[in-house]
Amino acid sequence: MKRIWVTGEALIDFIPGEIAGRQAFVPCCGGSTFNAAKAAALQGAPVSFIGAISTDMFGDQLAADLSADGVDVSMAPRSDAPSTLAFVSYEGPEPRYAFFNRQSATQMTDMSQLSCEIRSGDILHLGSISLVENPGADSSIYPPPCHGHGFLNPYSHGSK
């Protein structure tokens, strides 16, 4: 069976809730690519998460959560940079997010440094806030693990 390779953010969402009878933000593992990896693994697909994961306490929680649902994290680089944090507000019709992502492990993912073996027919899923700033953005435009394979590039250099 072909493998799904996922890179992007593994972050902690702080969701409004209650702790000991007081309003608080409750930490939950998340991130769009993190969630996609888990969903695919829970459906029985072989999935490897190859985005950088912090070595901080949140990163350990994120790696453990992925592993618990069957996602291989053995090739995910671990980084001393902090985990990305996102605070969620539900005060309007749509949720609002405040991301704390500067110099985070997510931003430090450098696709040229990955040692994964993407084969013909495999799927590479990447995306979301990891593509907003460098080095993650530039290294994801045409990731080296995909050289020699067909690659659907969501970026069109000629469009505005």
Enter the pTM of the model.
0.80
Q: Which residue has the tokens 């969620």?
A: 88
> Which structural domain range is residue 36 located in?
4-10+31-81+103-146
Instruction: Characterize 140-156 residue by residue with b for buried, 16 or more Cβ atoms within 10 angstroms of its Cβ, and e for exposed.
Output: beebebbeeeeeeeeee
Q: Is residue 54 part of a domain?
A: yes
- What is the predicted pLDDT for the residue at 106? 85
- What is the predicted pLDDT for the residue at 107? 82
Q: Is residue 16 part of a domain?
A: no
Instruction: Enumerate residues 6+ apart whose C-beta is below 8 A from 99.
Output: 11, 84, 85, 86, 129
In 3D space, the residue among 8, 20, 104 whose CA is nearest the CA of residue 50 turns out to be 8
Q: Is residue 119 part of a domain?
A: yes
Overall domain count for the chain: 1
Segments of the chain scoring below 70 in pLDDT = 111-116, 120, 128-160
Q: Is residue 133 part of a domain?
A: yes
User: What is the side-by-side strand order in the sheet with 11-19?
Assistant: 22-30, 11-19, 84-89, 96-100
- What is the predicted pLDDT for the residue at 136? 54
- What is the predicted pLDDT for the residue at 31? 93
Q: What is the CATH number of the domain that holds 114?
A: 3.40.1190.20
Report how far residue 134's alpha carbon sits from residue 27's, in angstroms, rounded to the nearest whole number.
26
